[in-house]
Amino acid sequence: MKKFLAPLLLLSSAAHATETQMLPKGAWVLDVAYLHSTIDKQWDGKRNAKSLIDDIPRYEPGGGLQGVLSARPHALFQIVLTQILYGVTDWLTLALYLPFVLRTTIDANFRWTPGDYQGQLGRVYSEDDFWAWAASLGQPRPPSTWVGNELTFADILVGARVAIPEFFVTRKLGVKLAGTVVVALPTGHVADPEEVVAAGTTSVDLHAYGDLELHLAWDRPFLVDQYEVPRVNLGGEFYYAWLRQKTLPTATGARNPLLNTYSPYVGTSYTIDPGDWFCSTISLEAAPILGPAYATLVSGGDLVKAHGLPPLVTLNFSYTYTATGQSRWYSDSAIWDYDKEKFWKPGDKNTFRFGGSVSFLRMGVPVQLYAQYRMQDLIGGRFTRASDSIVAGARVVLKFW
């Protein structure tokens, strides 16, 4: 049975005010959120949804079809996302992103479809017959639910955002620009190769962010009031994500000799080149309620500055198109490599986000609350996997001098 890798998280900023927002010099932000993310499908080359694991036909040695073993996995990732940001200057913000996995739960949903009539039995193989036969070959019946990745980190991200100075064209168009670089540290771990159904926490396993990302973002504010607060903001970004090659251990069949033995012909390890991504995002943000403003410590006792702080209620929507490159697998078996690569041909995925936030900064409380729903199955993709996620979090803004 093919290893189940669970690429479901888009570990980007869960709720952002604008695509080019910078922190003031000396300001800190602590952002903690809970991510509830599920996945149960992948897209084929015709944008049709299918199971994450292919059906496995099993044959009687020298005889007919015993039956077809299939699975319809449903995976749940529960993660605490912590962001720490610091404004080095008004034009440079540094970020540390800590995705801490609480638990991953995968319900395999194994199924059995009977095959040909078996003369020695006088009937077709039932599911119990199959597992009894498998046990005679040393293959235990896999558990229906796998739980792992408990209290562990995925790949930690570090990044820097730089505000790009205005020039003639941007001033004319009223556009702000910023560039961001993000690097993933190899702190995650790979899935256990001996498990029939499992998931890891590296960038390759999650298939949610690159090992190196380069972003160019833009914002165009509209309906700006006298305090320079936009009621509407149109933004977006273009970015490139590079995923490094990774060498992984091959399943030896130590625990699942019938369903998960590859090393005799694949080798003790294999290498994956996941392929790079090219992405573009368009976002729309609206502030239906500005809320009252008070002169407090948050605004330095200045009522004018208080009016310039983020609105009380903000709603946001974004769409991201991700084009994925061809994956490459390198092992001792060209046939096995091809069999893996055919599921990860050049493809794409479509991500929609709907969210909102409540900010109390204008009223003197340096706290923002936010929530977001993200879906990847509203429009079918190609050779990618679709996940749904709910994020809820709180952000605290601090300045010590």
Q: Which residue, 362, 367, 358, is CA-closest to 305?
A: 362
Q: Which of the pair, 163 or 299, is modelled with greater confidence?
A: 163
Q: How far apart are CA 288 and CA 249, in angstroms?
A: 53
Mean pLDDT score of the chain, rounded to an integer?
Answer: 91
CA 121, 124, 127, 133 dihedral sign is: positive
Architecture of the 27-399 domain: Beta Barrel (2.40)
Look at residue 250 in the predicted model and tell me its pLDDT: 95
> Does 359 have pLDDT greater than 80?
yes
pLDDT digits (tens, 9 = 90+) for 191-235: 999 998 899 998 888 888 999 999 999 999 999 988 889 999 999
Q: How far apart are CA 177 and CA 122, in angstroms?
A: 73
pLDDT digits (tens, 9 = 90+) for 44-63: 999 999 998 888 888 887 77
Look at residue 255 in the predicted model and tell me its pLDDT: 92
> Does 360 have pLDDT greater than 90?
yes
Residue 379 token pair = 């429009």
Look at residue 282 in the predicted model and tell me its pLDDT: 97
Contact by Cβ (8 Å): 167, 215: no
State the greatest distance between any 2 C-alpha atoms of the chain, in Å, as a whole number: 89
Residue 244 token pair = 């490094």
Contact by Cβ (8 Å): 73, 53: yes
Residue 266 token pair = 């694949």
pTM of the entire structure? Answer: 0.90
> Does 3 have pLDDT greater than 60?
no
> Does 9 have pLDDT greater than 50?
no
> Does 7 have pLDDT greater than 80?
no
Contact by Cβ (8 Å): 291, 312: yes
Look at residue 205 in the predicted model and tell me its pLDDT: 82
Look at residue 53 in the predicted model and tell me its pLDDT: 86
Look at residue 371 in the predicted model and tell me its pLDDT: 98
> Does 28 have pLDDT greater than 50?
yes
Residue 285 token pair = 């943000």
pLDDT digits (tens, 9 = 90+) for 109-135: 999 999 998 877 888 989 998 899 889
Q: Which residue, 33, 53, 55, is CA-closest to 42?
A: 53
Contact by Cβ (8 Å): 283, 277: no
